[in-house]
Amino acid sequence: MALPVAFFAAFFAWPVAAIVARGLVVDGSWQLGRLAEVPADPAVRHVLWFTTWQALASTALTLLLALPAAYVFARLDFPGKQLLRAVVTVPFVLPTVVAGTAFLALLGRGGLLDELWGVRLDTTVWAILLAHVFFNYAVVVRTVGGLWAQLDPRQEEAARMLGASPFTAWRTVTLPALAPAVAAAALMVFLFTFTSFGVVQILGGPEFSTLEVEIYRQTSEIFDLSTAAVLTLVQFAAVGAILAVHAWTVRRRETALRLVDAAVTARRPRGAGQWALVAGVLVTIALLLVLPLAVLVQRSLDAPGLRYYEALTRADGGTFLVPPIEAIGNSLRYALAATAIAVVIGGLAAAALTRRDAGRFVRGFDALLMLPLGVSAVTVGFGFLIALDEPPLDLRASWILVPLAQALVGVPFVVRTMLPVLRAVDVRLREAAAVLGASPWRVWREVDLPMVRRALLVAAGFAFAVSLGEFGATVFIARPDNPTLPVAVARLLGRPGDLNYGQAMALSTILMVVCAVALLVLERLRTDRTGEF
- Quick one: how many helices (H) and strands (E) in the chain? 29, 2
pLDDT value, residue 338: 94
The string of DSSP codes covering 12-76 is IIHHHHHHHHHHHEETTEE-TTHHHHHHHSHHHHHHHHHHHHHHHHHHHHHHHHHHHHHHHHHHB
In sequence order, the β-bridge partners of residue 76 are 267
CA distances from 26 to 23, 164, 225, 226, 424 (A): 7, 67, 10, 9, 51
Helices within 357-398 (DSSP H only) = 360-368, 371-374, 377-387
- Beta bridge partners of residue 30, listed in sequence order: 25
In the prediction, which pLDDT does 133 show? 93
Note the pLDDT of residue 533. 26
The pLDDT of residue 444: 77
Other C-beta atoms within 10 Å of 163: how many?
8
Which value, in Å, is the radius of gyration of the alpha carbons in the chain? 23
CB 242 within 8 Å of CB 50: no
CA distance 504 to 493: 6
The pLDDT of residue 336 is 92
Quote the pLDDT of residue 529.
42
SS3 assignment, position 259: strand
pLDDT for the residue 523: 61
Q: What is the mean pLDDT of each run of 10 residues along the chain (533 residues)?
A: 89 85 74 76 86 92 93 84 80 74 73 69 80 90 82 78 81 81 86 82 78 80 78 81 69 51 63 85 90 83 82 70 82 92 91 71 70 76 80 79 89 83 78 85 80 80 81 78 82 78 83 74 56 31
Please state, in angstroms and rounded to a whole number, the distance separating the CA atoms of residues 426 and 256: 6
Instruction: Quote the pLDDT of residue 75.
Output: 81
Q: Which residues contact 76 (CB under 8 A, 6 or more apart)?
A: 266, 267, 268, 269, 274, 278
Instruction: Report the distance separating Cα 415 and Cα 407, nearest Å.
Output: 12
Q: Using alpha carbons, select from 380, 48, 108 the residue that is nearest to residue 235.
A: 48
Measured CA to CA, the distance from residue 206 to residue 235 in angstroms comes to: 21
Q: CB atoms < 10 A from the CB of 14, how many?
A: 16
CA distance 79 to 193: 33
Peptide bond into 95 cis (omega under 30): no
DSSP annotation of 240: H
* Amino acid code (one letter) for 292: P
- pLDDT at 109 (0 to 100): 64
pLDDT given at position 256: 47
| Beta pairing partners, 267 | 76
CA dist 236 and 141 (Å) reads 27
Give the global pTM.
0.75
What pLDDT does residue 316 have?
A: 63
CA distances in angstroms from 112 to 117, 127, 147, 506, 512, listed in the order given: 8, 13, 38, 20, 22
pLDDT at 519: 67
Neighbour-count burial of 297, counting CB atoms closer than 10 A to its CB (0-12 exposed, 13-18 middle, 19+ buried): middle
Distance CA 192, CA 208 (A): 17
